[in-house]
Structures are given as C-alpha cells and as structure tokens.
Structure 1
Amino acid sequence: MRAWLLLVAVVAAVSALLTVAGLPSPLLFGGLLGGLVHSLAFPRHRVEPPRLLFVVGQAIIGVTVGASIDWATLSGLGWDWPAVVAVTVSTLALSVVVGQLLRLHRGTSGVTASFAAIAGGASGMTALSRDLGADDRVVTVIQYLRVLVVLLAMPAVVTIVFGAGQQGEVLAVHAGWSDVGFSALAVVAGLVVGRLLHLPSPAVLGGLLATILLLLLPPFQDAGVPPVVQSIGFLLVGVDVGLRFTAESLRAIGRMLPTALLVIGLIIAGCAGLGVLLSELTGTSRLDGYLATTPGGLYAVLATAAGTDADVTFVSAVQMLRLLLVLLAAPLLARLLRRRR
C-alpha cells in the first residue's frame, strides 16, 4: 500500500506540473514520467499494476481515436495514398538498416538488431522476437527505450517546434451518462473484437474498430468519449510504460546502451525528415507529418494528435498502416536474415 501511495503522489505531482505548463496530453506524459521516477528512485517500492489496467488504457485510446475519425478526410486522401505507403515503407527500411549498427557488438544477430530497431509495434516485436529467433531481452529493452525517448521528446517538439498546445479541458469531469455508457460499451466490445479477430495491438485496434461500428448504429450516432474517460486511458498507459524501466533493465544491455541510443537518435531524425517529405507530398501540416512518422508509442502519438490541432484521421491512418506492415513483414524479414546468415 505504501508503494502504491508513493506512486500516486509522484504521478499526481508530475501530471499537475505538466497540466499547468499547458503541454499536450499531460496525464499521459505525467503518468509516464511519474512511473519512471518512481521506478528508478524507489526500487524497493516496486509496483506492478495488473496487466488489465494497461489493456483498458489502450482500448480507451483506441475508442477515442475511433470517435475522432473524420471519414471525409480519410476518403479525401485519394492520390495521397501512394505517397503515404512509400514513406511508410521507407520508415521501416530506414530503421532496419540503421539497426544493423547494433551488430558491432559481438553476439548480436541480424534478426535481433532488426527487431530491436524496427520502428513501430514495440509490443508486437517483443512478443514475436523469441519465436522468430531474436534475443527477446535485447529487443524488449531497446524497443521500449526508443518508445521512452520518443515520448519524452514529443511534448517539447510539439510545443516548441510546432507551437501546438493542449486543446480543451484535460481534467474536465462533467460528462453525460450516455457518453460514459457508450465509452464503456465500446471498450468492452473492442477488447472482445480484438481477441476474436487476433488483431495486432488488439486493444487499440479492437477499440478503434468497435467504436466505428457502434457509431453506425442510430442510438450512438451522436455519442462521444468524455474528457474524463480519455484522461483515465492516457494515465493508465503512461504509468505502465514508465514503470517498465528499472535500473536492472538498463543494465541488461550494458555496453550496448551507447550504440542503442545512437541508433534511436538516427531513427528519430530520419523519421522526422520523412515526416517533412510526407507533409510536402500530401499537403498536410508539418505537425501531421511529424506525428504520422514518429517511430513508436502509437498510443501516445494518437493521444497527442487528439489533444492538439493535428489531423487525427491522417495521423492514425499512417500509423496504423505502419503497424500492420511491421507485424506482417516481421516473419518474412526474420526468415530472410536467417538465410543470409
């Protein structure tokens, strides 16, 4: 109980500071930073939240994105789809090529280096790594280290570079019971749909799909996700990611850490450049291009897009496309690299 109270106090303090500062998705990043500080500063008071809380948080974000989709914008992509696909494939190719720097360390295979560096689908890559012949310990630490770097940098980049701030009242608690009921139904339905269809990232994609289907029904056509429900989802996801990083997990890759940080930095910079290219090719804003090509933290990217003036539909379309390509291409990539070895 003492550990839980300490975690709550740290997360609440950090979230309050970020809210006052006007940063996007302050509860998401407050939960992440609070969980990180708690994990590293108080190792004797380690907290392991139930997995269900993180899954529900992911589902809430999927539901939020599903309710934010503008079908007119999505259908309006038209001839922009070839550019979107080309930039998405380039993002994946860039991360795989740069990731080969990890092979400078003895004992690191091509499969491990590729899976550790590949942009997007961190949870999917860590789940697949052992079955496909990669060192799941290295893959897990580097994948989530990249997610951590991306999440820590995102508020500053969005606020300073693009001048975007939080839209609306993050901590608003007023909400109609009909919207709360709709959100609860969409989350439950999303978890069921994600499991039944064996979707990659089943909570996010299941929540997204379930929301789209529910909004087609007459009783829910005007439904939405209340800010307080969104805030709960963002907070749950942020805390879970922050608590993943312990001193032990960082020691696990030891001497590989400087190279891993170099690889992560090159991938982030390369993806930012591809984001600019995507913006020029499609006529979207630089903020949309940056969020659409950000290498990791799908739920955080979507939460940030929903909390700023970004085009949520465009960003989610590009991010979802990359996630699907990553998970579909992983077995083929592993087989190819093992043959070359």
Structure 2
Amino acid sequence: MERLSLRYQWALLLITSLLLGSVLQVFHVPAALLLGPMIVGVVMGLSGAQIRISKRLFVLCQAVLGCMIAQSLSPSILQPLLADWPIVLSVLLLTLAASGLSGYLLVRFSDLPGPTGAWGSSPGGASAMVAMAGDFGADTRLVAFMQYLRVLFVAAAAAIVARISLGDSAQSSGLEWFPHLGWGFAATLAVIVLGAVLGQKFRIPSGALLLPALIGATLHSSGTVTLQVPEWLLALAYALIGWTVGLRFTRPVFLLALRTLPQMVVSIIGLMLLCGAMAWMLTRVLHVDMLTAYLATSPGGLDTVAIIAAGSRVDLAFVMAMQTLRLFSILLTGPAMARFLSRYARR
C-alpha cells in the first residue's frame, strides 16, 4: 500500500467504500454508509495507507450529526428522564462500575500502564477520551487504538442487533437523496459551522456534536427554523467519520498493541455484555424497546451510536440523552478512576 501514490490510495478508498457500503445497503444493514467506509479504512490503515482525514472535516461531520439529532430533540425529552431519575442514575452508576471493572481487570492481567488501561476502557466519546488521556500520563496511541477498536466492535454489534430486531425494515428504502432545499438548509449550515467553531474554541468534550444538537434543537423545536439535513450530506458525514475511525488502525500502533490485543478484545466484549445486561434490565422497568435500550447503554462513541440509532427507527432522543449523560459522567470520574487503577490494579 505504501508504494501507491496518495492519489491512488484516495481512489481505492473511495471506490471500495462505495462498493461495500452499497452492498451493505442492499442487505438492509443499518448504518451501512458508516460501516462500509469504516471497514475499508481499517483494512487500508493496517495495510500501510498514508492518507488521513483532516481533523477539521471530522469536526464538521460531527456537527452535521448534531443537526440531524436536533431534529429529534425537544424539551419533552427531559420528562421521562426526570420522572425515572432513580433508574437513569442507577444505569449511569452501573456503567461507571462496569467501566472500572473492565479497566481494572485489563490492567491487572496485561502489561498496560494504569492510566492507559483506564482511559482506553472508558465508554465515553472516543475522541474526548483520547484528547484527555495524554494529560494523565496515558499512552495516547494505545488509548486511541483501544477506543476505536471498541467503536468498531460496538458499531458492528449494534448493526447486527438492529438488523435482527427490525428485519428488512431496518433501513428505510424510501429515502429522498436530493430533496428541495430552502433557506432552512442555509440556516442548518450556519448552525453546523457555529457549533463546530464554538465546541472547539471552548474545548467542550464532543462539543462539535453536542452544541449543534442543542442550538439546532432550540431553533427547530421552537419553530424558529426548520432544519434541513439532506441524505447526501449525512452520507458524506458518515463516510468521513468511518474513514477517520478506520484509518487510525495503523500498522505501527497495531504492532505496539499486539502483545495485549487478546486482553483488549476480552475487555471490550465483557464491557459490551455488561452493558447489554443493563439494557435488558432497562426494558423491564421502562417503556422502551430492547434496541433503544441497547443503543442507549452501548459503550460506543457518541457519533457512531447516533448514526446507527438514526437508521434504526428507535427513540433517538432517549438514546442521545442517555449517551450524553454517560459521557459527562465518564469525563467527571475519569481522572479519579485513572489514579485508582494506577495505584491498585498493577500486579
């Protein structure tokens, strides 16, 4: 792969991603336009591809997702969360406990340093975890590998669960790819750019996604602006996010992580099973379906879970509320957990 020019690498990435994404869509796989590019990116990254997605493009893509989420958000989302706050709080605490247990066992039975194991196993926004890890003595390369490896596992598992739950209705076949766009589209672009800029300027974790979602939801639910996020723009954002995740799986980092890769995989699968058990418990006490509960508790990145939820006809507002609450909980407790694992989890 290194022998190919950057132009040919880009051409190969585009063509194979389009082909694989189209095949997955034919079989009604949820988030096919995310999973296809992500899989191709992983293969090319491990093959030595040198192309990378600009961080600015990745940030803008997160803002596009924020506006897509904003169309499903309204003040009424707070009512079920507040009404069932003991259950919501219990799920958050159990998630933190599952994350801590996963990180403890990973550090205990591998050669990973405590901070690296703690931040790598934290089920929050992957990009936010990587950004914060270096400030607490963690190896950011291994943290990034662990975080995006978990995103890959979670995205594949969530797509399979959605496909089994919804059958051929998992992916809508009546999408209008190029709708008529009015001034609402211009307003949506303004929200995207404003949210992305402010999120980066104030260094808000996952702010490029959360700020456009909040700003857009305020405008959209109040009737001030009707947001327009066409399918072609979402497909482009999905592909760029998939490539960003996939191309991070470079050969040097993979070789660095190879010694502890089995422990990483077991840790990820264990955390996914624990979160799946919490999802089942959630369906017993709340009026939510299993797929909604699974995505709400799924330990993946905020952006990838949003993409899968949007293509799976679930309660997107509930999913994003739970994921956002967990993200901020992880950010608040992450430093203390890293110190705890560094002190007590080493053999």
Would the TM-score normalized by the shorter structure come out above 0.5? Answer: yes
Using the TM superposition, give the Cα deviation of residue 219 of structure 1 relative to its aligned residue in structure 2, in angstroms: 4.4
In structure 2, what is the equivalent of residue 7 of structure 1? 13
Structure 1: distance between partners of 2:175 and 2:240: 15
TM-score for the superposition, normalised by structure 2: 0.90
Q: Say whether the 8 Å CA contact 2:74–2:217 is kept in structure 1.
A: no
Structure 2: distance between partners of 1:177 and 1:231: 20
Using the TM superposition, give the Cα deviation of residue 169 of structure 1 relative to its aligned residue in structure 2, in angstroms: 4.2
TM-score for the superposition, normalised by structure 1: 0.91
Using the TM superposition, give the Cα deviation of residue 321 of structure 1 relative to its aligned residue in structure 2, in angstroms: 0.3
What per-residue deviation string (whole Å, max 9, x for no partner) do you get for residues 211-254 of structure 1? 1233366541x333222222222121111111111232211112
Structure 1: distance between partners of 2:122 and 2:81: 26
Structure 1: distance between partners of 2:117 and 2:224: 49
Structure 1: distance between partners of 2:201 and 2:140: 26
Q: Which runs of 5+ in 1 are unaligned?
A: none
Structure 2: distance between partners of 1:134 and 1:40: 23
In structure 2, what is the equivalent of residue 186 of structure 1? 191
The size of the alignment, in residue pairs, is 338
Using the TM superposition, give the Cα deviation of residue 189 of structure 1 relative to its aligned residue in structure 2, in angstroms: 1.5
Structure 2: distance between partners of 1:338 and 1:242: 29
Larger deviation, residues 132-141 vs 271-280 = 132-141
In 2 relative to 1, CA 175–148 (structure 1 residues): closer, same or farther, beyond 3 Å?
A: same
Using the TM superposition, give the Cα deviation of residue 61 of structure 1 relative to its aligned residue in structure 2, in angstroms: 0.6
Structure 2: distance between partners of 1:168 and 1:179: 25
Q: Give the alignment's Cα RMSD to 1 decimal.
A: 2.1
Do residues 297 (structure 1) and 301 (structure 2) align? Answer: yes
In 2 relative to 1, CA 228–258 (structure 1 residues): closer, same or farther, beyond 3 Å?
A: same
What per-residue deviation string (whole Å, max 9, x for no partner) do you get for residues 161-193 of structure 1? 454601354571223132421321110111133
Q: Say whether the 8 Å CA contact 1:175–1:226 is kept in structure 2.
A: no
In 2 relative to 1, CA 7–106 (structure 1 residues): closer, same or farther, beyond 3 Å?
A: closer
Structure 1: distance between partners of 2:92 and 2:228: 30
In structure 2, what is the equivalent of residue 21 of structure 1? 27
Larger deviation, residues 327-336 vs 105-114 = 105-114
Using the TM superposition, give the Cα deviation of residue 339 of structure 1 relative to its aligned residue in structure 2, in angstroms: 5.7
Structure 1: distance between partners of 2:40 and 2:166: 25
Structure 2: distance between partners of 1:25 and 1:175: 24
In 2 relative to 1, CA 107–263 (structure 1 residues): closer, same or farther, beyond 3 Å?
A: closer
Larger deviation, residues 32-41 vs 248-257 = 32-41
**Percentage of matched positions with identical amino acids:** 34
Q: Say whether the 8 Å CA contact 1:74–1:314 is kept in structure 2.
A: no
In 2 relative to 1, CA 6–171 (structure 1 residues): closer, same or farther, beyond 3 Å?
A: farther
Of 252, 255, 263 in structure 2, the residue corresponding to residue 251 of structure 1 is 255
Structure 1: distance between partners of 2:10 and 2:200: 30
